[in-house]
Every structure is written in structure tokens, then in C-alpha cells.
Structure 1
């Protein structure tokens, strides 16, 4: 996971320098930002934050490790080659699917609708709409003053809040109502800022709309049974 991420990133930066492109927009991840056990819960996660590589290795979180070292390699190579680089760091991306099959991000929601997940985890997750991620790339690409990293996130929710939203919109599905860990205190959402993208004019789609669009897309792609129009219209109004 790590080697192709790093080498692929370096190759793109080198090719960009040779082609004399004016700007490269690098899609990184929140995984390169927030994995730091030493960060205080009161600290606001922003573009200056980096994941702790030793912590990622010790916990065998190779996804976050790979994202962090790949982005760092991009910055190092861009500096060496004189490439104008801007990075977008999205959180978990939801919304309409382009492809027919489900991906890891969509399974995060689908499992709560099919009955495969009987409980929800005592954990938190940040979310963003795929259309907002796409627009973020356009804005940092087209805005001459854009520079550095851009955290792309709309909300941080506890899994309990996610299932509550899903149950309100789609009560016909077997959405879990119990937490898998009722002994420990409820995990608290971390603080973050998306002000840099807002300053470029991005107006984020609400997380409720994000979850709703995801389920509608799963229905359209045949991954979920579709309720009757009458039932659907009642849910939206409520």
C-alpha cells in the first residue's frame, strides 16, 4: 500500500515538472492529518496537523501511514522540482456513486441499512459530500492565491448520530439502535476547521443531505430495495 502510493506520487510530480504544468492539485486524506494520540481533544484539527507515523506503524494503520508519507513525498518532490503544489485532504466521502459497485466509504453506510451491522460503534467519523470534494479541487486549482493544504470536511458525527439520521429518512430499513460499547463513555467528535475552503467560496452540503444522497444512490444502483414513492415522500416531509 505504501510503496505504490509514494512512488506513484513522485512520478506524477516529476512528470508535471517535465511538462511544465502550472499547478498540481494532490488528493490526500484526513488520514494524513489527524492520527495523533498526543493531540489534545481541545485542539482544533487544521491544515498544520500531521498524523504521527510511529503511531500509525505501531497500530498497523497502513492506510493513514501511506497517505501521510505519500503527501510528504509530494511536498518534498514539488519543492525539489519547483512545482506549484496544492493538497486537498478530504474526510470520509459520501454521496452519489459514479461506479456500479460499492466502495469502502459507501459500505460504511450500507452496513447499517442491510441488517449486517446489528450495533453501531462507539466512535466518531468526519464526513463530506463528494460534490464538495470535487468543487474543492476546482477552487484550489483555479484560484491563483490558493496554497498549502485544504481540509475538506463538513461535520464530525458519532455513529449513533449517523444511525439516527438514517432512521429518520429511511425507517423501513433494519437500522441498529444499540451501541456495541455501552460501557465506555460516548466518544466525542473532534474539533476541526474548514475555513480555508470556505474562504475560497465553498459552501458545504449538510451531512444530512450527504447521507440521504448516499442511500438514494445505493437504491438507484440496486444495492438496496426501493420504497414506494408515497412512503418516500412522507419521510422527506418529516
Structure 2
């Protein structure tokens, strides 16, 4: 509403959460076999493990998208960027919460690990992205001449077992916590290429995201 009242704002870029994009079927009977921008987290009482904040993330993103230009050209240019679990380094003097979730199998932080399991249960797997790529994606959406709508911002789509295996292989000095999510029943394909189709290029792959998250925690004395 502030953008509309200002009358000078051309484009609104809204940083959303991938929590709003579950591939769960509306009737909770299982998952769709793909995950892309058409997926929305079902908003019904059967998802008892969703918090009120999680519901609000979905409602807020849908509300923002309603302000996009209509067929008469009225409205704002609206872009929403549902971001995956953000890893990488930080300028802060402490480990950011999202990085804490990514390294929870190393730190054995139960609350953070529950968040990791929550994402996997909700989304089938865990979309992850490096903080530098998140920043670059926002700049890309500012500078692109023709972009609007919903664009996932995540470079990898992995399981908690994938994360566990990476840490166990590359960081044998840690006692890596083992998860118990049944990923075999969730063979969901990451089908989102919209942002890359527009010309955006991710600079960080899975290994780089996980390694930078470990390096971040080490630098601030978390591990």
C-alpha cells in the first residue's frame, strides 16, 4: 500500500519464503512429483505442524502478487522471490538462523534440526541457496527490463541425507547427526527454471553453500 500511495514506485520486489511453496497436494494425500512456481502450501487445518507464521508467509505472498499489473496495465510491476534455506557467510558477529539450520547436523542443535526436518516434510526436499546469490538475484530483478510474477530463488534441491553425507565425508572431525526422514517416498523433481530462463546465473553449488556455512560458523566461534 505504501508503494501504491507513493505513486512513484515502478516495481516491488518482495522477499518471500519457500515455505509458501509446498508441493503437497491440497487433500494432503501425498506430494506432486514436481516443485515449481505453481506450487502453493495448502492452507487448511490438516497441516497441524504449520505455525501461524508459516500460514502468514503464504498469505502475504499471495496478497502482494495481487498488486501486479492487470490486463489494462494498471498496478505495480510485482516480483516475489521465494528463497530457499539461505547458507553461506555473514557480516554479522554470530551465525544467522538459516545457517544454523543448515549445520544443525554438525552442532546437534535440536531446535534447528527440527526446522530442517520441517522443511523436508513440507517440501519433500530442502531448497538451498547462497546468501550472495540471493543478493544478486534481487539486483537482477531490479535491473531486468521485463520481469514480473513469482520466481523461486534456490540453486539446489537436496535431502537431509545429502547434507549428512556431505558433512560426514568432508568433515570427519564432527559427529554428524543422522536424520530419520523417509526421503525414499518423496522423489520430487525440482522443476523451477524461471529465474535462470530470464538470464540469471547462480554462482554457488551445493558443496560451496554447505562449506561456506561451516566456514561461517567456525569464523564466529559457533563450532
TM-score range, shorter chain: 0.7 to 0.9
1:223 is displaced (CA, Å) by 1.0
Greater Cα offset, 201-210 or 40-49: 40-49
SS in structure 2 at match of 1:152? coil
TM-score by length of 2: 0.80
1:172 is displaced (CA, Å) by 1.1
TM-score by length of 1: 0.75
Change (3 A) 1:60 1:115: closer
Change (3 A) 1:162 1:62: same
Look at both structures and tell me which one has the larger radius of gyration over its CA atoms.
1
| 1:55-102 deviation digits (Å, cap 9, x = unpaired) | 576444323311111112212345598222111111111111232223
Change (3 A) 1:187 1:103: farther
Q: How many residues align?
A: 208
1:144 is displaced (CA, Å) by 1.3
1:209 is displaced (CA, Å) by 0.7
Instruction: Give unmatched runs, 5+ long, in structure 1.
Output: 1-13, 225-238
Matches within 5 A, 1:94-109: 94-109=87-102
Change (3 A) 1:37 1:104: farther
Aligned to 2:9: 21
Matched, 1:190 2:188: yes
Contact 1:31 1:63 in 2 (8 A): no
Contact 1:26 1:87 in 2 (8 A): yes
Q: CA RMSD in A?
A: 2.9
Instruction: Give unmatched runs, 5+ long, in structure 2.
Output: none
Greater Cα offset, 40-49 or 82-91: 40-49
